[in-house]
């Protein structure tokens, strides 16, 4: 913490009803002397009845926070516990989580936290009136964007628990009084039981068909005789991508994001992707970013950056690994074609499909207008956010390193599944097989690529020389660990996120 910056700023603005000097703390290394300060006598807002706080005190508190915002200083923990009502006016205390040169996301969050704290103490009507007296319309729009449960201090959340619909009422009342619109969240589409049963039924039907075509008894006996130590290793490896995926999310957003909530989001997406596919995952991520205080364009941009980074990393890994893996797929036969010929055709078909989509978007006038009106503004925002992230090496490391880690862990999971049935394949071969299966699954309009990915994995492993029964058994183990079992706790985590107003 840079307490010197706070001391200098706050001392210079003592007349603005910000504390003369900050509370006790250390500046620099432990060997430096502690800067002991005095705070005026007073009671915390949480200890004062609503009528005991005057309108002047409310306005002074908000002006103090606004003054910090204009100077790029974030308090970081504003609540009824961190504001004193004194004879000289409201005084801020407890700057332990403060930061200087704070991004707008944090300073706007402070303002939103201050408005929410005032509403808890004196009621929504007086809080809204004070906010409209102190802040202009543009600043109120920023406050409404950040006025989410995730932005509030835990003490404010605790005090508001008895007020049902407190945040929703506060947002709507503030927007109506200020004459601005409440920022709309991405609609959360509910997943119906028939859709879920259809996905599960499709998977059951798929494995029944695969069992008939590959003599199920052979694959089942291999699964029963699998090395359960390797199966356990595959299961553990399959759960780790939620952590690396959370790293990627923190890198895709300008400003800080709570890492634990990102892990919870990626865990919930194990269920979302299973029943809704990539489009549903994108929608949930955007809604999550909005709940963390991002406006709609920034939330869409961050979701797009996270998804695009994943596919870019997959593509780079595929290109790097393909030369090393081609030899595994080339098994000389009397046909003299090489079994990797099918893989080359798959790549060509995917490239051709992308080229057709680009051609339609650029050559058909109606599609070109739609792209210009709907997609182009988002593309501009995404590009601006990418440039902003690019100047922060830490963000780049998170978004690319997280995406890379996820793909590597899934490849290791498939490798452990092969080892469990007595087979093995090179890392490069595993990457190529997984990428091709993912490309096929993404091209087919089936939630989560259910069924299509399994066929792609089995075909790829068989082409790499893995006996068919072992390939089927290994794919079943890998998909059980990565796609069939995790939606159970993913669903439970999604319910928790919804109850906590994080999505």
| Residue carrying the six token digits 């660990």 | 481
Closest CA relative to residue 131, chosen from 173, 166, 68, 90: 173
Q: Cα–Cα distance between 6 and 189 in angstroms, integer? A: 45
Question: What contacts 132, CB < 8 A, 6 or more positions away?
Answer: 140, 174, 177, 178
Q: Cα–Cα distance between 276 and 397 in angstroms, integer? A: 29
Q: What pLDDT is stored for residue 290 in this prediction? A: 84
Based on the fold, state whether residues 161 and 202 are members of the same structural domain.
Answer: no
Based on the fold, state whether residues 303 and 165 are members of the same structural domain.
Answer: no
Six token digits for residue 352: 């051709």
Based on the fold, state whether residues 169 and 297 are members of the same structural domain.
Answer: no
Q: What pLDDT is stored for residue 216 in this prediction? A: 54
Q: What pLDDT is stored for residue 477 in this prediction? A: 92
Domain-embedded: residue 26: yes
Element (H, E) at 84: strand 83-86
Q: Cα–Cα distance between 60 and 76 in angstroms, integer? A: 18
Q: What pLDDT is stored for residue 339 in this prediction? A: 42
Based on the fold, state whether residues 296 and 230 are members of the same structural domain.
Answer: yes
Based on the fold, state whether residues 153 and 224 are members of the same structural domain.
Answer: no
Neighbours of 138 (CB within 10 A): 9
Q: What pLDDT is stored for residue 206 in this prediction? A: 55
Q: What pLDDT is stored for residue 405 in this prediction? A: 93
Q: What pLDDT is stored for residue 294 in this prediction? A: 79
Q: Are 455 and 441 in contact (CB under 8 A)?
A: no
Quick check: helix, strand or coil at residue 90?
A: strand
Runs of H (alpha helix) within 214-227: 216-224
Domain-embedded: residue 262: yes
pLDDT tens digits for 114-130?
999 888 888 889 989 99
Q: Cα–Cα distance between 296 and 282 in angstroms, integer? A: 13
Based on the fold, state whether residues 252 and 167 are members of the same structural domain.
Answer: no
Based on the fold, state whether residues 167 and 247 are members of the same structural domain.
Answer: no
Based on the fold, state whether residues 283 and 310 are members of the same structural domain.
Answer: yes
Domain-embedded: residue 158: yes
Q: What pLDDT is stored for residue 404 in this prediction? A: 93
Domain-embedded: residue 188: no
Q: Can you state the percent helix, strand and coil of the chain, rounding each to 5?
A: 70, 5, 25
Runs of H (alpha helix) within 240-340: 241-251, 259-291, 296-329
Q: What pLDDT is stored for residue 367 in this prediction? A: 61
State which of 125, 146, 178 marks the end of a domain.
178
Low-confidence ranges of the chain (pLDDT < 70): 1-40, 50, 185-218, 330-392, 442-451
Q: Cα–Cα distance between 68 and 368 in angstroms, integer? A: 46
Domain-embedded: residue 157: yes
Based on the fold, state whether residues 394 and 311 are members of the same structural domain.
Answer: yes
Neighbours of 4 (CB within 10 A): 13
Domain-embedded: residue 325: yes
Based on the fold, state whether residues 198 and 131 are members of the same structural domain.
Answer: no
State which of 144, 178, 212 marks the end of a domain.
178
As for how many domains the chain has, the answer is: 2
Quick check: helix, strand or coil at residue 289?
A: helix
Domain-embedded: residue 156: yes
Element (H, E) at 26: strand 25-26
Q: Domain range for residue 14?
A: 3-178
Based on the fold, state whether residues 292 and 416 are members of the same structural domain.
Answer: yes
Q: Are 249 and 285 in contact (CB under 8 A)?
A: yes
Q: What pLDDT is stored for residue 410 in this prediction? A: 95
Q: Are 434 and 442 in contact (CB under 8 A)?
A: no
Domain-embedded: residue 241: yes
Based on the fold, state whether residues 338 and 472 are members of the same structural domain.
Answer: yes
pLDDT tens digits for 412-443?
999 999 999 999 899 999 999 998 888 777 66
State which of 151, 178, 205 marks the end of a domain.
178
């Amino acid at each position: 913490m840079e307490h010197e910056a706070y001391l200098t700023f706050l001392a210079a603005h003592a007349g603005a009803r910000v504390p003369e000097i900050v509370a006790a703390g250390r500046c620099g290394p432990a060997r430096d002397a502690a800067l002991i300060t005095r705070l005026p006598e007073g009671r915390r807002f949480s200890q004062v009845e609503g009528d005991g706080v005057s309108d002047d005190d409310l306005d002074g508190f908000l002006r103090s926070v606004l003054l910090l915002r204009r100077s790029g200083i974030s308090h970081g923990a504003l609540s009824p516990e961190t504001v004193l009502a004194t004879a000289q006016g409201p005084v801020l205390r407890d700057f332990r989580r403060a930061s200087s040169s704070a991004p707008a996301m944090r300073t706007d969050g402070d303002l939103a936290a201050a408005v929410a704290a005032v509403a808890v103490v004196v009621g929504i009507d007086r809080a809204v009136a004070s906010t409209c007296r102190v802040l202009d319309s543009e600043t109120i729009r920023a406050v409404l964007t950040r006025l989410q449960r995730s932005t509030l201090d835990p003490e404010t959340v605790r005090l508001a628990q008895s007020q049902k619909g407190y945040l929703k009422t506060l947002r709507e009342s503030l927007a109506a009084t200020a004459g601005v619109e409440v920022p709309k969240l991405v609609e959360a589409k509910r997943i119906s039981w028939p859709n879920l049963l259809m996905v599960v039924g499709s998977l059951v039907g798929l494995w029944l068909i695969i069992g008939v075509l590959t003599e199920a008894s052979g694959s089942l006996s291999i699964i029963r005789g699998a090395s359960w130590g390797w199966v356990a290793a595959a299961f553990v490896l399959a759960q780790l991508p939620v952590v690396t995926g959370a790293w990627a999310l923190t890198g895709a957003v300008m400003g800080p994001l709570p890492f634990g909530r990102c892990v919870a989001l990626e865990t919930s997406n194990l269920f979302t992707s299973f029943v809704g596919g990539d489009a549903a995952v994108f929608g949930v991520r955007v809604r999550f970013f909005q709940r963390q205080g991002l406006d709609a364009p920034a939330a869409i941009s961050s979701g797009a950056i996270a998804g695009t980074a994943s596919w870019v990393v997959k593509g780079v890994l595929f290109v790097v690994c393909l030369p090393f893996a081609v030899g595994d797929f080339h098994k000389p036969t009397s046909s003299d074609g090489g079994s990797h010929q099918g893989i080359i055709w798959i790549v060509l078909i995917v490239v051709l499909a992308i080229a057709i989509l680009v051609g339609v978007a650029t050559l058909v006038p109606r599609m070109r207008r739609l792209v210009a009106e709907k997609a182009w503004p988002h593309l501009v925002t995404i590009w601006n956010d990418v440039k902003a992230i690019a100047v922060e090496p830490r963000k780049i490391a998170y978004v690319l390193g997280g995406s890379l880690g996820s793909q590597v862990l899934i490849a290791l999971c498939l490798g452990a599944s092969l080892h469990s049935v007595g087979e093995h394949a090179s890392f490069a071969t595993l990457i190529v097989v997984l990428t091709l299966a993912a490309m096929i699954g993404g091209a087919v309009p089936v939630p989560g690529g259910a069924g299509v990915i399994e066929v792609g994995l089995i075909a790829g492993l068989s082409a790499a020389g893995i006996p068919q029964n072992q390939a089927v058994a290994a794919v079943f183990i890998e998909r059980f660990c990565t796609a069939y079992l995790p939606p159970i706790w993913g669903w439970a985590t999604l319910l928790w996120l919804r109850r906590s107003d994080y999505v």
